[in-house]
């Protein structure tokens, strides 16, 4: 199986030219190779032609580049690279979000009592153990949730920080979500602490509802208007959609409504990625080694115009010729496909078979 995947990846890189990231000569690159342990990093290229020659020769399973800019990106010691700044990057991964579709494709099994089931659980509902084996998959409903999170983030960055969407681009990671990149010279100089504060802001952390309410005659009311800037106006807009918020309320009731609005409007990012000023991140245009899908670069406007199904279809880079696939426990929904009935063997397009096989749960039997 692995040799066939290498051949498919090799054919992809032979037929396609991967666009280089901006300021390629200042970026560090890193790669994981098929049938090889560890990551090969501290690699630098002068131009896109060099980078594509490497991809065609080495055929990596995973390809990354640094969000940071360095004076000497090939230096083996991180302290000798000469950090010059870093793009501001946000990561949204549905693996951390309990989407309603998880009961259709994710499974768990308790290592202690043997109980098993579908969906996302933090610990075994039978014995309380946290020692769980999990099998997780992604479908268009998952990606739709991640897409909504990215668009909420874009709105916050535009409205509250004045960052132009012309300085942003989105990358579908090829697996469970999206990365939002901001390339701005001033923001590139932000240190780790400043990026942490920004990450906390977009997640709505530290909002004290008591600072947003005021005493009225018979209770409490929200003190700000929808056209107020930042979280004050954002919460006001959402409160307008809640009938009960139009009246004077008990203090605790209004506090609860405000916190619900914050939870609805916040962007569910992975703060560790945003804080990391030396992050390696997937290279757009390359293939994800766990799915065979393309890391897809999009403008914000393109993402707005697409639904999740369109994103997944555009990320398909491998052939769709039919092949026979066997698998012990099939998800009921994966990518854009639905498997409502039980079966040991199915005929699937090759790209979907590769996705299932790269996760180690399916076996490709041959052409249909």
Six token digits for residue 2: 């692995």
Annotated catalytic residue, options 93, 106, 140, 276: 93
Q: Catalytic site residue 95?
A: no
Instruction: Report CA dihedral (69, 73, 75, 79) to the nearest 10 degrees.
Output: 10
Whether 341 is catalytic is: no
Residue 331 to residues 216, 341, 355, Cα–Cα distance (Å): 54, 10, 12
**Catalytic (active site) residue 210:** no
Contacts of 115 (CB under 8 A, 6+ apart): 109, 124, 125, 126, 127
Determine phi and psi for 306, rounding to 5 degrees: -110, 150
| Active-site residue (options: 4, 160, 200, 270) | 270
Burial class (CB in 10 A: 0-12, 13-18, 19+), 35: exposed
Q: How many residues does the chain have?
A: 368
Q: How far is CA 324 from the centre of its chain?
A: 30
> Pairing mode, if any, of strands 83-86 and 68-70?
antiparallel
Catalytic option among 87, 91, 106, 140: 91
Angle of helix 48-58 versus helix 2-15 axis, rounded to 10: 150
User: Using CA atoms, how far apart are residues 61 and 66, in angstroms rounded to an integer?
Assistant: 17
Catalytic positions, written as ranges: 91, 93, 270
């Amino acid at each position: 199986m692995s040799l066939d995947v290498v051949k498919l990846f090799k054919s992809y890189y032979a037929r396609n030219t991967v666009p280089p990231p901006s300021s390629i000569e200042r970026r560090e690159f890193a790669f994981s190779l098929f049938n090889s342990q560890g990551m090969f990093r501290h690699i630098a290229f002068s131009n896109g032609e060099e980078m594509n020659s490497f991809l065609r020769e080495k055929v990596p399973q995973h390809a990354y580049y640094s969000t940071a800019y360095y004076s000497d990106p090939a230096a083996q010691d991180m302290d000798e690279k000469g950090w010059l700044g870093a793009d501001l990057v946000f990561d949204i991964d549905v693996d951390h979000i309990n989407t309603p579709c998880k009961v259709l494709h994710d499974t768990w099994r308790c290592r202690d009592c043997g109980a098993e089931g579908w969906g996302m659980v933090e610990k075994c509902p039978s014995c309380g153990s946290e020692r769980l084996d999990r099998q997780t998959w992604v479908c268009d409903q998952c990606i739709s949730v991640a897409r909504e999170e990215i668009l909420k983030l874009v709105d916050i960055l535009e409205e509250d920080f004045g960052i132009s969407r012309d300085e942003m681009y989105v990358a579908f990671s090829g697996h469970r979500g999206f990365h939002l990149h901001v390339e701005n010279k001033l923001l590139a100089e932000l240190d780790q602490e400043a990026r942490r504060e920004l990450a906390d802001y977009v997640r709505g952390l530290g909002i004290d509802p008591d600072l947003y309410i005021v005493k009225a005659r018979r209770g409490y009311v929200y003190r700000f208007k929808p056209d107020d800037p930042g979280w004050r106006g954002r919460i006001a807009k959402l409160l307008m959609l809640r009938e009960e918020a139009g009246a004077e309320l008990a203090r605790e009731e209004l506090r609860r409504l405000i916190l619900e609005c914050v939870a609805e409007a916040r962007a569910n990012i992975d703060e560790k990625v945003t804080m990391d000023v030396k992050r390696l991140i997937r290279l757009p245009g390359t293939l994800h080694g766990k799915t065979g899908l393309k890391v897809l670069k999009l403008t914000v406007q393109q993402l707005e115009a697409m639904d999740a199904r369109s994103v997944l279809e555009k990320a398909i880079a491998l052939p769709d010729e039919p092949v026979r696939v066997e698998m012990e426990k099939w998800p009921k929904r994966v990518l854009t496909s639905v498997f409502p009935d039980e079966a040991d063997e199915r005929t699937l397009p090759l790209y979907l078979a590769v996705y299932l096989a790269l996760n180690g749960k399916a076996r490709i039997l041959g052409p249909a």
